[in-house]
Structure 1
Amino acid sequence: MRLPRKHSMTTRAEFSLARKDGRAKAGRFVVLSTLASAELPHLMVGFITTRRVGKAHDRNRLRRRFRSIVQRHAEAFEDMHRYLVTIPRPGASEASFEELEKDWLKQARRLGLIRTGTGDSGTPN
């Protein structure tokens, strides 16, 4: 699934709503927050990359990597009517794409976004 621009969270209110009222799980490289909302017509995705994560090129690379991960696995989501916020943790810029993907998928399963056993790229559970 390609993520069109209309699937991007753009306002501060959307981010704070998902962070305050939603559920979150933290892994080694990522914090994933989500909030189901029946009013949403589709999945709304946002990325928060702070300066603590690294320099600008590291933050941009992390956003591209996480956007790719969401695109790869969005079709396996149980419910597409939700906000999804991905926040890389310090140290994520040194991780490989595979490590980031594995950690993101683990948190998505813990939140119940993805059915267990699906949505992974051939890696064991």
Structure 2
Amino acid sequence: MRLPRKHSMTRRDEFARVRTTGQAKAGRFVVLSTLEDSTLDGIRTGFITTRKSGKAHDRNLLRRRFRAMVRLFAPSFVEPKRFLVTIARPGAAAATYAELEADWVRQAKRLGLFGPNPPRP
């Protein structure tokens, strides 16, 4: 199942707004930033994979993995009307999916995105 286009962040000003006014938590492999916005109709996600993350095929793999995590865990967010930016850190391409998922979920918990019963990675 694909992540619908309406759930993607595409404009530079959206990324800048999340960066300047949102919250961010950094882990070993990812930096997760979020900003609540009640005007949205659902979650809007963006993924940043720079050349420091790895070669092109590694960056593509990371984006596919991040999209899978959003599809899996976003339905259990307390407030789904938010911007969510996932930034791959150097070394993320060498991590396994389980390590990436555990780090992503850990940062999401630190940001308070899950309710009283957070999902287990």
Fold-level similarity (TM above 0.5): yes
Specify the code of the residue in structure 2 equivalent to 1:33. Answer: S
Instruction: Give 5+ residue unaligned stretches, structure 2.
Output: none
TM-score, with normalisation over the residues of structure 1?
Answer: 0.92
CA offsets, 1:104-125, max 9 Å, x none? 000000000013542224xxxx
Specify the code of the residue in structure 2 equivalent to 1:120. Answer: R
- Structure 1 residues 109 and 61, CA gap change in structure 2 (3 angstroms): same
TM-score, with normalisation over the residues of structure 2?
Answer: 0.95
> In structure 1, how many angstroms separate the alpha carbons of the residues matched to 2:35 and 2:46?
12
Task: Give runs of aligned pairs for residues 1-125 of structure 1, distance below 5 A.
Answer: 3-115=3-115, 117-121=117-121
> In structure 2, how many angstroms separate the alpha carbons of the residues matched to 1:40 and 1:115?
20
CA offsets, 1:80-104, max 9 Å, x none? 1100000010000000000000000
Number of residue equivalences: 121
CA offsets, 1:1-44, max 9 Å, x none? 85211000000011111111100000000000000011111100
Q: Tell me the C-alpha RMSD between the 2 structures.
A: 1.3
